[in-house]
Structure 1
Amino acid sequence: MAIDVRRAKALRLEPITVTVERGRLAFFAKAVGQTDPVYVDPDAAKAAGYPDLPVPLTYFFSLELESPDPFGYLTALGIDLRHVLHGEQSFTYYALVHAGDTVTLRPRIVDVVTKKGGALEFVIKRTDIIRDGMPVAEAVATVVVRNPEAQP
């Protein structure tokens, strides 16, 4: 079943407000293999001129998972999660975020692209990350939906 692009773009995704926790930042940094001590040791971060642990580059993606139903937008569009793959993600940064900062993530679907005669659809979601009313980053995630009944 093809995704209705207008419906997807009109779908309201709830914003998420979260305080960045030091312990979770350090855990994330270790999990992704970050070896720079500024990401896991508050003293090293302060010695490097940061007020606290800085957010590693891809951390904002994990913050979106704080939502009660982080993939609910896909099911709301009638997408069978068994046919979903992570396509790609990218980030644009405007300011650093550190442990203790509170940020609001405002996601929205910006496009749906169809390829291979409808066999593949790409749902593109942009999330603006805001702190104190100012943008600190934007994250763009692409989800690939395989439509097995479509004939390429």
Structure 2
Amino acid sequence: MAVDPAIIGTELPATTLTIDAGRLRFFAKAIGATDPVYTDLDAAKAAGHRDLPAPPTFLFSIELENPDPFAFLAAAGVDLRFVLHGEQSFTYHSTAVAGDVLTATPRITDVYSKKGGALEFLVKETAVTRADGSAVADLKSIIVVRNPGAGK
């Protein structure tokens, strides 16, 4: 089933998360970040941060806090068995640190297909801001959907 391009512009539910230092340490360990700035408060402060900074790619995990973070795909008629996370990019505006209250606001910005519809692409862009509205980062995800019925 083809993804209807009418979903372009759809805003998805926002997620708000207070960043916890323990969670940042765990994430740093999980991705193999060995720089003590991500796990030791003294090292973080010596590097000029007011608290432990969020490791690279941490912001991607905010949206996963939603009870059903992939509901938008099901609503678009996408069978999750045929989904692949194709690409992720980050544009950072400031450093998020432990104690920050962040809100991730995603929206679908594009839908297109390749290979005669056998592969469909959903582009989701997410603005991450602090409680005061200041920009932290802009994230871009490209989700690839294999359409097994295409070309038959």
Q: TM-score range by the shorter chain?
A: over 0.9
TM-score normalised to structure 2 length: 0.96
1:43 aligns with 2:42: yes
Residue 137 (structure 2) aligns with: 137
Residue 120 (structure 1) aligns with: 119
1:34 aligns with 2:33: yes
Q: Which runs of 4+ in 1 moved over 4 A?
A: none
Q: CA-atom RMSD, angstroms?
A: 1.1
How much does 1:10 deviate? 4.4
Using the alignment, how far apart are the partners of 2:50 and 2:68 within structure 1?
A: 32
Residue 3 (structure 2) aligns with: 3
1:64 match: secondary structure: helix
Residue 22 (structure 1) aligns with: 21
TM-score normalised to structure 1 length: 0.96
Using the alignment, how far apart are the partners of 1:10 and 1:39 within structure 2?
A: 36
Residue 52 (structure 1) aligns with: 51
Residue 148 (structure 1) aligns with: 148
Residue 83 (structure 1) aligns with: 82
Long gaps (5+) in structure 1: none
1:61 match: secondary structure: helix
1:127 match: secondary structure: strand
Sequence identity (%): 58
